[in-house]
Amino acid sequence: MSGQSLLVPGELSPARSVPGNIRRPEYVGKPAPTPYTGPEVQTAETIEAMRIAGRIAAQAMEEAAKLIAPGVTTDELDKVAHEYMCDHGAYPSTLGYRGYPKSLCSSVNEVICHGIPDSTVLRDGDIVNLDVTAYIGGVHGDNNATYLCGAVDEESRLLVERTREALNRAIKAVRPGRQINVIGRVIESYAKRFGYGVVRDFTGHGINSSFHSGLIIPHYDSPHATTVIEPGMTFTIEPMLTLGTHDYDMWDDGWTVVTKDRKRTAQFEHTLVVTDSGADILTLP
């Protein structure tokens, strides 16, 4: 594996502003969102609105990813995604969610998820996850992907490639009438082929007018994930695979989650709607 030194927190830039004409999610300015009490199965109108939000989120992520290169800061990536979403009438869902200070999550190397963009400078050989969610039309679209920065070692490159494949396999496993745990079963069985850890405490989730509806999508074979999949359900699948343990530590910022053994980790995510025959990806650019 790459001999990169471990990450340390950088300096945060001032909060970015969002034009006043862009609709905010209800949780902005509050310590926590109002708990969602609506259905997991969405109307056709909500699904089409989510397709718009998902497309903007996917395009914002793509635009930010174009900048990934040695010498670029994660804050610069945040700026690009923030401006893209605002320019397209969307609010960056993470900005102000439970106090989160930025418009995307940038998780580098040993960071599992929720890394905060700051003055951290990307290095040749890093792997970088970008997690972008857009809110527009009263709904959210959430996606993430892991990118290679410069010349990445083979072990890390394979981890990234196989994590993407784990997501693809999980999406193909979605069928009405199956239980949610089929998703985690597929991911875990694939990851075990390579000796990868599968993160358990951070999961996929229901998403709609709520950023996190309360529906949980484990990425391992959980005996508790017995909810039956139905057409019209909308949720994310976002496996996090590691080169070592699935155990983790959290930085003092209350957000940044790192592998306990500090080995590398990768993640990919799409927002989906369940159809009569499978799943349709809503986060396509």
Q: What is the pLDDT of residue 1?
A: 47
Which residues touch 279 (CB under 8 Å, ≥6 apart)? 171, 174, 272, 273
Which residue in 107, 150, 114, 156 sits closest to 7, CA to CA? 107
Q: Which amino acid type is present at position 122?
A: L
Residues paired with residue 258 on neighbouring β-strands, in sequence order: 111, 249
DSSP, residue by residue, 164-185: HHHHHHHHHH--TTSBTHHHHH
pLDDT tens column, 38-68: 999 999 999 999 999 999 999 999 999 999 9
Burial of residue 133 (CB within 10 Å: 0-12, 13-18, 19+) is buried
Q: Two tokens at 54?
A: 């998902």
Q: What is the pLDDT of residue 127?
A: 98
Residues paired with residue 179 on neighbouring β-strands, in sequence order: 228
Q: What is the pLDDT of residue 4?
A: 75
Query: Which stretches of the chain drop beneath a pLDDT of 70?
Result: 1-3
Q: What is the pLDDT of residue 3?
A: 63
Residues in the chain: 285
Q: What is the pLDDT of residue 2?
A: 56
Global pTM? 0.96
Q: Which amino acid type is present at position 170?
A: A
N- to C-terminal Cα distance for the chain? 32
Task: Please give the distance of CA 49 from its chain centroid, rounded to a whole number.
Answer: 19
What is the rounded distance in angstroms from the CA atom of residue 229 to the CA atom of residue 226?
A: 9
Q: Two tokens at 282?
A: 């809503």
Do 108 and 119 touch, CB atoms closer than 8 A?
no
pLDDT tens column, 64-98: 999 999 999 999 999 999 999 999 999 999 999 99
CA separation, residue 254 to residues 9, 98, 235, 250, 267 (Å)? 12, 11, 25, 6, 20
CA separation, residue 260 to residues 70, 192, 251, 252 (Å)? 26, 19, 11, 14
